[in-house]
Chains A and B, each alone.
Chain A
Amino acid sequence: MSRDDPSTERDVDVLSTVGNAEFTEGPPDGPVTLTDSAPVSPSVINRWNPREVSLTVLFLAPAVVGLGAFVIFPLFQAVYLATMGSDILGNPTRFVGLQHFEELFTPDFGAVLARTAGFTLMVVVAGVVLPMALAVPLSQRLPGMRVFRTLFTLPFAYSASAASVVWLLMLNPAMSPVNWLLQLVGVTAPGWTTDSGWALVTVAGVTVWMVSGFNLLVLAAGLAGLDEQVLEAARIDGASGVRHFTGIVLPMISPSLFFVIVTTTLTALQSLGQPQVMTDGGPNGATSTLVYSIFNQAFHNNNSNYGLASAQGLVLLVVGVLLAAVQFGVIERRVHYR
């Protein structure tokens, strides 16, 4: 978020100015010099100077090693595994070509993708709108608002499995407090985890509850950073109510909003703990999303079908990149950075 914060950028500018000043205008025997022999102006440093090259390599190495070990290598490993059949321990044993990818062209996997899309959509829409609806009243400067803000942000501190277990108890078919409350107002509770229509909504609901805390924090910070002068100018110009919100406030916090949409999309896309703990993908696969399916193939029930799991993992990669392309290519055009 700091990249959108003008104060930080100003700080950076000041720092770099100071740095340059020391470098160019400092006394020759000052503490800050780059070379130990004759002073050299930065403009004449040879880029291919062995010393420069080795320094560059040195500085780049940590990032490249990390990226290589944890991103590039696994990516190639996944491609490799996706073309291999494995033994009962999961060791790749024989080349199977595109067989695992062919196995993806089934109605079952199509249903997994459709389910993942539906789940992600539910989580992103509700997980952004709901915190937004809470953040607006919470940004009013009233006594006691800090307490509420803290309370509403708390779900952020829950791990996926802890949140899932808590909600599993809340929605327990036998003694659910939620069902009890619903009954008091005359509503018959649905089968939260047993009805296949509801199960995905239930798991999505718990995910929304989990992401809301963080999203609320980000959106509230965005609202708190609004420029009073702009708001006042808008008010003087006659903007109020909905128009004030959609025309002034929303564009001004659009960087925060965009950030929240991107992170929530990724969180939803990668949800595993919630379907695993709450429904174990059931009833009959009704909550089996893409990442659950990968987990199921690779590790669940003593499975070790790493080939198919890797192929599905590559699908996840493609889906993630496509979504990001859409978000950064289309939605970000409408984001106003100051």
Chain B
Amino acid sequence: MPTPLGRTKLGLVAVAVAAATAVTACSSAASSGGSGAGGDALSAPAANALDGKGETDITFWHAMTGTNGETLKKLTDQFNAANQGKVKVTLAFKNNYDDTLSAYKNSLKGGELPDLLQVYDVGTQFMIDSKATVPAQSFIDVDSYDVSGIQPNIAGYYSIGGKLYSMPFNTSMPLLYINKDAFTKAGLDPNKPPTTLDEIKADAEKLTVKDGSGNTTQYGFGASLYGWFLEQWTAVANASYCNPDNGRSGRATAANFASDNNVKLLTWWKSMVDQGLALKLDSDTKNGDSAFVAGKDAITLESTGSLGDFTKAGFQVGTGFYPKINASDSGGPIIGGASLWIVGKGKDDAHKRASWEFVKFLESKDSQATWHTSTGYFPVSKAALDTDVDKQWVASKPQFQTAITQLQHTKLTTATQGCLFGVMPQVRKAAENAMQAAVLQGKDPKQALTDAAASLTQPIKDYNDSVK
């Protein structure tokens, strides 16, 4: 039997090992390696790059699940069948957007890079700074590809300095959703969704229902404290989310959270919760969605991507434009979603060209019509909306017409293009912290927004310094 002393030492070692293993996780991912390819790796090859090369196999990293994933598979099979012996696309599912980007980052440090990858909107500036992709503009110039067919507001997000860096693919927009049955029951016009904070409040007062013992069975309003929404309110107010100029004219250096509009918004939101007119929700949109579908609140905010699930609820769902903070606000919402990036680093001309051919196929009006009608994502191609299959679908889902009208009404400005930051995912999270602090913790909205913006100063500076 070991002595107590021996046991103690053993135990200490065991604990040290356990703690050190936790440290391992941080360091193992940080090992460096990999070398850059030549500068011309990042320019587009000519149209004949595939000639005489036999079949070129390319890998596409994506993060599409469920119906979206199945539709992508269907489109890919269609492309492969039409390009037999020339190009073969292999899909590689990477769980979600964050994991896709992490995998890409690790491959850049020495690993197998994909030929094509899907990256979320907030990863745009980072992808440019990773300096390993061929800008879509480069292919567009070589091919004289006509970009006028792409919805300008969608292309706008991914255009920096007039150059389109990636091809938009799955695109969504925020909408205001209402429970029409609840509106009718409350004596409100179900075809007139609220358009401003004041109108939401006025409707919510009529929509809030309590049972005999004073418990609220239906709240007038309820939306997740999702950081994306703050970006949307700001764009609808036609204001910049980050300075200068939403990062569209040069690197953004500061988040512009503590604007009067945002203070007004969070003050309003907090008072809605305090007065029992709004359901207290966290930042998890799944919780927000299930609350709306369960009839727990009658007005909510969500992306167009949730329309499919919402229409399966046991009541009539109506849609309206994303609301304004002030009635005079003249902007419009920003598109979200993800885009397609063609990797150039370590790739020969045939692979780059093959990726582009596949991207062009996905952008075509027929592919986009299939994509739109199967998944609910907004079609990137203008012409897709005019195809028969798309027209029928929109006729059967009139709620989607709101999204189409909303996009067409939105002027393309630096405000509605959206903010570009290398650390945009962190910025979105910081905005969420400010929203939670003001609405859930009762912190002064101005202070909450100022503190959140201040917490980003160092990460923004570090990022900008390291890409100089």
A residues in contact (CB < 8 Å) with B: 3, 9, 67, 70-71, 74-75, 77-78, 80-81, 85-93, 168, 172-175, 183, 188, 191, 193-196, 262, 266, 270, 279-280, 282-286, 291, 294, 298-306, 309-310, 313-314, 316-317, 319-321, 323-325, 327-329, 332-333, 337
Q: B428 on the interface (CB 8 Å rule)?
A: yes
Q: Which residues of B are found within 8 Å of A193, using beta-carbon distances?
A: 282, 284
Q: B1 on the interface (CB 8 Å rule)?
A: yes
B26, A88: Cβ atoms closer than 8 Å: no
**Known A89-B130, A337-B1: A303·B426 in contact at CB below 8 Å:** yes
**Known A174-B287, A196-B441: A78·B98 in contact at CB below 8 Å:** no
Q: B429 on the interface (CB 8 Å rule)?
A: yes
A88, B23: Cβ atoms closer than 8 Å: no
Q: Which residues of B are found within 8 Å of A316, using beta-carbon distances?
A: 19, 22-23
B11, A298: Cβ atoms closer than 8 Å: no
Q: Which residues of A are found within 8 Å of B16, using beta-carbon distances?
A: 317, 320-321, 324
Q: What total of A-B pairs shows CB separation below 8 Å?
A: 208
Contacting residue for B282 out of A92, A194, A291, A317, CB 8 A? A194
B residues in contact (CB < 8 Å) with A: 1-2, 4, 7-8, 11-12, 14-30, 32, 98, 101-102, 105, 108-109, 122-123, 126, 129-130, 215, 279-284, 287, 290-291, 294, 296, 422-423, 425-426, 428-429, 432-434, 436-437, 440-441, 443, 448, 459, 462-463, 466-467
Q: When chains A and B are docked, how far (Å) is the Cα of A310 from the Cα of B27?
A: 7
Q: Which residues of B are found within 8 Å of A301, using beta-carbon distances?
A: 98, 425-426, 428-429
A308 to chain B, nearest CB (A): 10
A302, B101: Cβ atoms closer than 8 Å: yes
A174, B437: Cβ atoms closer than 8 Å: no
A220 to chain B, nearest CB (A): 23
A267 to chain B, nearest CB (A): 10
Q: Which residues of A are found within 8 Å of B101, using beta-carbon distances?
A: 302
B23, A310: Cβ atoms closer than 8 Å: yes
Contacting residue for B294 out of A174, A303, A320, A337, CB 8 A? A174
**Known A91-B109, A196-B441, A282-B436: A306·B23 in contact at CB below 8 Å:** no
B98, A302: Cβ atoms closer than 8 Å: yes
**Known A173-B287, A305-B459: A88·B466 in contact at CB below 8 Å:** yes
Q: When chains A and B are docked, how far (Å) is the Cα of A291 from the Cα of B24?
A: 12
A321, B440: Cβ atoms closer than 8 Å: no
Given contacts A89-B105, A337-B4, 10 further A-B contacts (CB under 8 A): A78-B24, A88-B422, A89-B130, A174-B296, A175-B291, A280-B284, A286-B441, A304-B30, A305-B462, A324-B12
A88, B467: Cβ atoms closer than 8 Å: yes
B291, A174: Cβ atoms closer than 8 Å: yes
Q: Which residues of B are found within 8 Å of A280, using beta-carbon distances?
A: 283-284
A77, B27: Cβ atoms closer than 8 Å: yes
A99 to chain B, nearest CB (A): 11
A85, B30: Cβ atoms closer than 8 Å: no
Q: Which residues of A are found within 8 Å of B122, using beta-carbon distances?
A: 302
Q: When chains A and B are docked, how far (Å) is the Cα of A306 from the Cα of B28?
A: 10
B290, A172: Cβ atoms closer than 8 Å: yes
Q: When chains A and B are docked, how far (Å) is the Cα of A67 from the Cα of B386?
A: 64
Q: When chains A and B are docked, how far (Å) is the Cα of A205 from the Cα of B449?
A: 31
Q: When chains A and B are docked, how far (Å) is the Cα of A323 from the Cα of B16?
A: 10
Q: When chains A and B are docked, how far (Å) is the Cα of A196 from the Cα of B438?
A: 12
**Known A71-B17, A301-B428: A332·B24 in contact at CB below 8 Å:** no
Residue of chain A at shortest CB distance from B19: A320
Q: Which residues of B are found within 8 Å of A183, using beta-carbon distances?
A: 215
Q: When chains A and B are docked, how far (Å) is the Cα of A337 from the Cα of B5?
A: 13
A214 to chain B, nearest CB (A): 16
Q: Which residues of A are found within 8 Å of B27, using beta-carbon distances?
A: 74, 77-78, 80-81, 306, 310, 313
Q: Which residues of B are found within 8 Å of A175, using beta-carbon distances?
A: 290-291, 294, 296
Q: When chains A and B are docked, how far (Å) is the Cα of A183 from the Cα of B284?
A: 24
B123, A321: Cβ atoms closer than 8 Å: no
Residue of chain A at shortest CB distance from B31: A77
A320, B18: Cβ atoms closer than 8 Å: yes
**Known A283-B282, A302-B98: A262·B11 in contact at CB below 8 Å:** yes
B262 to chain A, nearest CB (A): 16
B238 to chain A, nearest CB (A): 27
A92, B437: Cβ atoms closer than 8 Å: no
Q: When chains A and B are docked, how far (Å) is the Cα of A323 from the Cα of B437?
A: 32
B15, A313: Cβ atoms closer than 8 Å: no
Residue of chain B at shortest CB distance from A297: B26
Residue of chain A at shortest CB distance from B32: A91
A78, B26: Cβ atoms closer than 8 Å: yes
Residue of chain A at shortest CB distance from B9: A328
Q: Which residues of B are found within 8 Å of A3, using beta-carbon distances?
A: 1-2
Q: Which residues of A are found within 8 Å of B26, using beta-carbon distances?
A: 78, 81, 294, 298, 306, 309-310, 313
Contacting residue for B281 out of A173, A305, A313, A329, CB 8 A? A173
Q: Which residues of B are found within 8 Å of A303, using beta-carbon distances?
A: 423, 425-426, 459
Q: Which residues of B are found within 8 Å of A67, using beta-carbon distances?
A: 17
